[in-house]
Structure 1
Amino acid sequence: MSSPIAVVTGASSGIGAATARRLADEGFRVVAAARRADRLADLVTRITADGGAAVAVTCDVTDDASVAALAARAADLGGPVSLLVNNAGGARGVDHVEHASPTDWQWMYDLNVLGTLRVTQALLPALERSGAGTIVVIGSTAGLVTYEGGGGYTAAKHAELALTETLRLELCGRPVRVIEIDPGMVRTEEFALNRTGGDAVAAAAVYAGVAEPLVADDIADCVAWCATRPRHVNVDRLVVRPLAQAAQHKVHRV
């Protein structure tokens, strides 16, 4: 039998890239999807150099045609599509609600919620045909609580959580698991920088004094563990934070 196929969105950097590498190590043929073709090419080169199998697909999860092309490319590989990691997402802005940009809120909803919806709809038939499909949604602890300056992002992540939980109910009795992983403070090269509009000082302040925030490989490890459990085991929700973060507002800094 051919190796199972795993589709990872948002694979050009951060958690997505780390997850693609880890799943290749676990024996999956990885379809690495994102908008930045140059970064995907570098990722695939690294995976294949390490003995893994991966292909790059340039994809914008906010575009129907682009997502359809992603699903078609995964099907063309000729093996069972057994894993989808909905990782594409992001945050913009730290303004309070009274000053927030509707444009930023729309972008976050389109990417985090409708992007997850589009990709899930496109890949679900193949996942079900595999007889052992798994959908992993990378949410956030921002989907569990709210905090000042996070209205748009927490709204989008709460909506993504609702989508995920509804999907699990609707797929009950069918051979597709639905798993939600909600990271807390994860230091990646781009997330906080993008959220602060490229302000490197503000981005660094998010992690100031936190000796050991989570890193992308920590979340990739969680994805791999959840996805490789016995088929009768469904990890509904995995909340993972660094030791220094007891809650969204409770962070030990030195």
Structure 2
Amino acid sequence: MMKTVLITGATSGIGEACARKFAEGGYNLILTARRVGKLAEIKAELEGKGVKVKTLAFDVRDMEAARKAISSLEPEWKKIDVLINNAGLALGLDKEYEMEPEDWSTMIDTNVKGLLNMTRLIVPGMVERNEGHIINIGSVAGDAAYAGGNVYCATKAAVKALSDGLRIDVAETAVRVTNLKPGLVETNFSNVRFRGDDERAKNTYKGIKPLTGDDIADVAFYAASAPKHVQIAEVLILATHQASGSVVCRK
């Protein structure tokens, strides 16, 4: 019987890469994001791989919209085997005391509350069935703050704490929890952080071969494919010349 994965933020970067990887692995897909057109494009592409694809357009920050979307799923889609909480973003590199409060709220609401919203909606079903896997996309930024990272780093530290806490909460069940912590991954992440400044975004990866979304998707699929008695609790994934969130050797 084919398994089903639900991926948030599935229209770009790590989320889109996970969609392709899990489709290749024979999973049916529930893809969520805000961009309706892009969801439709990915759906058309991946259905050609012989899997079923369901798209849900909503903002993970909006609990009522998320609840309505998940409630709309037909019975055949209700059993979600893997939840990938990928939706997230960083905004700017301003000093903490100079940042726009709106940017604080956007990062906290997306990276933390969005993850919590989806966890609340999906995990009870996994617990009831006594099977399932939650894969949270954290970051090396959650291990230690770096200059200008402040609020973003705090949100990814929260992802680690929430992953650890959830793992404790479901320890008496067969539900597994994984926190993936990527370092430099070349996606549209930096373009979003720098509000479309492509040159500044490109400089983020200058002098180093960064990770790709596919690299992270490979690790996510490996974790999901591990034997049922094996729980890949946490994985830190860095580019070869990156030592931490703040130490990068550029050549």
Residue number in structure 2 paired with 1:243 = 240
8 Å CA contact retained: 2:184, 2:239? yes
Q: Which amino acid aligns with 2:246?
A: H
**Aligned CA distance change for structure 1 residues 167 and 3 (closer, same or farther; 3 Å):** same
- CA distance in structure 1 between the partners assigned to 2:206 and 2:77 by the alignment: 47
- RMSD, aligned CA: 1.4
Tell me which residue corresponds to 1:14.
Answer: 13
Q: What SS class does the counterpart of residue 214 from structure 1 fall into? A: coil
Judged with a 3 Å threshold, the aligned counterparts in structure 2 of structure 1 residues 72 and 79 are, in CA distance, closer, same or farther, namely closer
CA distance in 2, matches of 1:75, 1:117: 23
Is 2:190 the partner of 1:231?
A: no
Q: Distance in 2 between matches of 1:90 and 1:46?
A: 25
Structure 2, unaligned runs of 5 or more: none
2 CA distance for matches of 1:230 and 1:73?
32
Q: CA deviation at 1:101?
A: 1.6
Change (3 A) 1:74 1:134: farther
**1:99 aligns to what SS in structure 2?**
coil
Q: How far does the alpha carbon of each residue in 1:152-191 deviate from its partner, in whole angstroms, 9 at most, with x for none? A: 1001111121111111111110121111000000001x21
Partner of residue 119, structure 1? 118
Q: Deviations over 1:73-118 (max 9, x none)?
A: 4453256311100000001110012212221111100000000000
CA–CA distance in structure 2, aligned partners of residues 239 and 74 of structure 1: 34
> What secondary structure, in the 3-state scheme, does the structure 2 residue paired with 1:77 have?
helix
Any conservation in 2 of the 1:75–1:126 contact (CA below 8 Å)? Answer: no
Greater Cα shift, 236-245 or 48-57? 48-57
Letter in 1 for 2:76: L
Counterpart CA distance in 2 for 1:161 and 1:78 is: 28
Shift of 1:53: 2.2
Amino acid at match of 2:200: A
1:183-214 C-alpha deviation (Å, 9 max, x unpaired): 000001x210110121111111101111x210
| 2:189 pairs with 1:191 | yes
Aligned length: 251
Distance 1:9 1:130 in 2: 22
> Aligned partners of 1:78, 1:219: CA distance in 2, in Å?
25
TM-score, L = length of structure 2: 0.96
Establish whether residue 71 from structure 1 lines up as the match of residue 70 from structure 2. Answer: yes
Partner Cα distance (2:96, 2:69) in 1 = 36
Q: Write the mapping of 1:170-209 to structure 2, written as runs, cut at 5 A.
A: 170-188=169-187, 190-209=188-207
For the 8 Å contact 2:131–2:173, the answer to whether it is kept is no
More strand by percentage: 1
Q: Give the 5 Å matches for 1:1-254.
A: 2-74=1-73, 76-78=75-77, 80-188=79-187, 190-210=188-208, 212-254=209-251
CA contact (8 A) 1:187 1:214 kept: yes
2:112 touches 2:155 (CA, 8 Å); kept in 1? Answer: yes
Could you tell me how far 1:150 is from its partner in structure 2? 0.6
Residue identity matched to 1:232:
H
Give the AA of the match of 1:147: Y
